Structure 1
Amino acid sequence: MDTVAALDVGGTTIKAALLDAQLGILEERQVPTARGADGTALAAQVTSLVREMGGGTSVRAVGVVVPGIVDEEARVARFSANLDWRDVPFGSLLESRLGLPVAFGHDVSAGGLAEFRVGAGQGCADAAFVAVGTGIAAALLLDGRIYRAHGLAGEIGHIDVGHSLRCGCGAVGCLEASASASAVARLYSERAGRVVDGALPVIDLARDGDPVASAVVSEAVDGLARGLRTLLTLLGPEVIVLGGGLFAAGEYVVAPLRERLAASLTFQRMPELRVAKLGPEAGRLGAGLLALDLLARRTGGGGGGWVVLFCVGGME
């Protein structure tokens, strides 16, 4: 078994797991995320967790994934609103503390990597993993390889889908502002005058005939169909894997999305829409895969030991 430590860094919690080389969970923990704009507090926290987990077993590599804009080649978080980070070289920062190789990536990209290898996207050469949670982003698999563009690829949540709402990025019309799980909850709360906790309660209300909830969900599905049409026009994936909290509702959301997307296409190939299999574990498993890949590159695939995997926050 190979020995790696992997992190998925978000704004609230760290989920940590000890994995074997087949991604089997041997031990797991969850702790609050240490905050700090320069990343040193989190690096110290992760260092302690890596050393604590595994019962003294020597961890041989570390994988880290975070939300935001991540330059994986430079191992720098260019921007992460959830962590209040700008240009934080977290890969080298953590590596200097641990004295171990560190792989650094993006949480949705890592989730896509896991879905493409061991989840709903297996067997595809051209696919997309679209995560609809607090925000909306996509992992892109092109000709069998993850396409990252130094962390700038896959920001499907900031496609203009034609509404008048202002997005957190500063633009107007972004898909994320109308169709993310957080947007669905916010829009229903504003229109109905009652606060709901997340998108699923809104979907439940829509199922029960609530007209406000039905309108909010319908608008979200329309926006997603527009965003996916743009993705199809540019990249032509054969499969789109749908993940994140919104798609926990299954066919109640996927069926109308499939119908509206198909109706909007002219020459584009209609992809197969699949619901993600790995759920909230996708980012964590993807972080583990990044670490295992790094270890394989540096050792030629040999070695033994454990995998320590950390998910901080993620794609809820």
Structure 2
Amino acid sequence: MRHVIALDVGGTGMKAALVGADGTLLYESRRATGRERGPEAVVEDILGFAAELRAHGEERYGRSAAAAGVAVPGIVDTANGIAVYAANLGWRDVPLRALLGERLGGVPVALGHDVRTGGLAEGRIGAGRGTDRFLFVPLGTGIAGAIGIGGAIEEGAHGCAGEIGHVVVRSGGPECGCGQRGCLETLASASAVSRAWAAASGDPDADAADCAKAVVSGDETAARVWQEAVDALADGLVTALTLLDPRTLIIGGGLAEAGETLFTPLRAAVEARVTFQKLPAIVPAALGDTAGCLGAGLLAWDLLDTSDTLTTEVTG
């Protein structure tokens, strides 16, 4: 069976799969990223993980993977296949595409940004399927965005399109790792809600999921913390929809697991803020934590489709 290797590298864990031509996950595996051992060790683990998947495919299907796709966090130069910078992994200017290609025996390799890659999957086979324009926003440790237009994900002139988490929504607010204050991700990410609820509840181990449960149970303090995050998120999303005019807003990540505890007040808050703008559908992501891996597989298949087209044009 023809298949590709897909890898989704996160700050704490890596997800890998063999993906069939129809998008089916033929084989899945996970392991810790091990970032505490340093960036060089992480890169070696990525290469080794990919090699293991290649060997598994050869043993099970009698053929090597046709291509590989890998999604990584941080700043990514997709055109040149370089993982430029990732604060949570500590690497800089890693020629990951070349390294993977060499380890995998010369198969073509596609490198993508984790959120944009997840957005590609949500747009094609997930919550945005059939939508011509969407914005995918996962609410996790931080907040980023993927802008989907006509079946493709917009990267921007410098590979930084969609960084909605660094839109300032509260001037003079909490300090952000980017150097600004009051960025959206300092107020509305899952980690931001965890920090706020831990402080408000007096429980240093409390997290966003605990806050959501307390909201459901009627805790007024939790409701205040939650609503402050929802209001900040709505402000950021209205800025985005004013600029991008998406037909659908797809919300994913850990915070979205709260379901209607998040989506009911969020839809109301966004609707209250729009004036001339058209209100998009606001829906939960459909693929969960498999989106990045599925997207990496799509990148690999797209690479093969492009190569096949170019070969046909040259030889035809």
Question: What's the TM-score once normalised by structure 1's chain length?
Answer: 0.90
Cα separation, 2, equivalents of 1:53 and 1:290:
20
1:25 maps to amino acid:
L
Partner of 1:104: 111
- Which moves more between the two structures, 166-175 or 293-302? 293-302
In structure 1, the partner of 2:95 is 89
**Kept after mapping to 2: 8 A contact 1:133/1:244:** yes
- Residue 265 of structure 1: CA displacement? 1.3
Q: Does 1:49 align with 2:30?
A: no
Alpha carbons of 1:20 and 1:203: their partners in 2 closer, same or farther (altered >3 Å)? same
Amino acid at match of 2:47: A
Q: CA deviation at 1:186?
A: 1.2
Separation in 2 of the partners of 1:44 and 1:27? 18
- Does 1:249 pair with 2:255? no
> 1:17-36 CA distances to partner (integer Å, 9 max, x unpaired)?
22222222222221222544
1:194 equivalent to 2:203? Answer yes
| CA distance in structure 1 between the partners assigned to 2:310 and 2:217 by the alignment | 53
Tell me if 1:294 matches 2:294: no
Match of 1:135 in 2: 142
Query: 1:210: how far off?
Result: 2.1
Q: Does 1:148 align with 2:178?
A: no
| Structure 1 residue aligned with 2:169 | 161
AA paired with 1:273? I
The aligned counterpart of 1:37 is 39
Q: How many residues align?
A: 302
Q: Does 1:25 align with 2:25?
A: yes
SS of equivalent to 2:144: strand
Q: Which of 110, 113, 127 matches 2:120?
A: 113
Distance (Å, rounded) in 1 between the aligned partners of 2:260 and 2:170: 25
The letter for the 1-side match of 2:39 is: A
Q: RMSD across aligned C-alpha pairs, in angstroms? A: 1.9
Q: 1:273: Cα distance to partner?
A: 0.7
| Distance in 2 of aligned mates of 1:110 and 1:134 | 17
For 2:252 and 2:132, the matched residues in 1 are separated by: 19
Residue 93 of structure 1: how far off its partner (Å): 1.8
Is residue 34–residue 41 contact of structure 1 (8 Å, CA) maintained in 2? no
Change (3 A) 1:62 1:34: farther
Aligned residues of 2:5 and 2:16 also touching (Cα < 8 A): no
Cα distance in 1 for residues equivalent to 2:134 and 2:142 = 20
Question: CA shift at 1:144, angstroms?
Answer: 4.1
Where structure 1 has 5 or more consecutive residues not aligned to the other structure, the ranges are 303-316
Amino acid at match of 1:65: A
Greater helix share, structure number: 2
SS state of the match for residue 209, structure 1? coil
1:2 Cα deviation from its structure 2 partner: 3.3
The one-letter code matched in structure 1 to 2:53 is V
Q: Per-residue displacement from partner, 1:75-128 (whole Å, max 9, x unpaired)?
A: 112221221122222111211222211100011111111111111101111111
Q: How many Å apart are 1:67 and its aligned residue?
A: 1.2
- 1:137 is paired with a residue whose SS is coil
Tell me what 2:268 maps to.
259
% identity of equivalent residues: 48
- Post-superposition shift, 1:254? 0.9
Q: Distance in 2 between matches of 1:23 and 1:144?
A: 15
SS of 1:8's equivalent?
Answer: strand
List alignment gaps of at least 5 residues for structure 2.
312-316
Match of 1:63, SS state, is strand
Distance 1:203 1:154 in 2: 27
Higher RCO (CA 8 Å, separation ≥ 6 residues): 1
Instruction: Pick which of 129-138 and 163-172 moved more.
Output: 163-172
Code of the residue aligned with 2:278 in structure 1: it is R
Tell me, yes or no, if the aligned pair for 1:2 and 1:292 is still in contact at 8 Å: no
SS at match of 1:14: strand
1: CA distance, partners of 2:56 / 2:148: 33
More moved, 135-144 vs 220-229: 135-144
Counterpart amino acid of residue 123 in structure 1: G
Structure 2 counterpart of 1:16: 16
Once the two structures are superposed, what CA deviation does each residue of 1:121-158 show, in whole Å capped at 9, x if it has no partner?
A: 01111111111111111110134431012420111001
Secondary structure of the corresponding residue to residue 154 of structure 1: coil
Per-residue deviation at 1:248?
1.3
Aligned counterpart, 1:178? 187
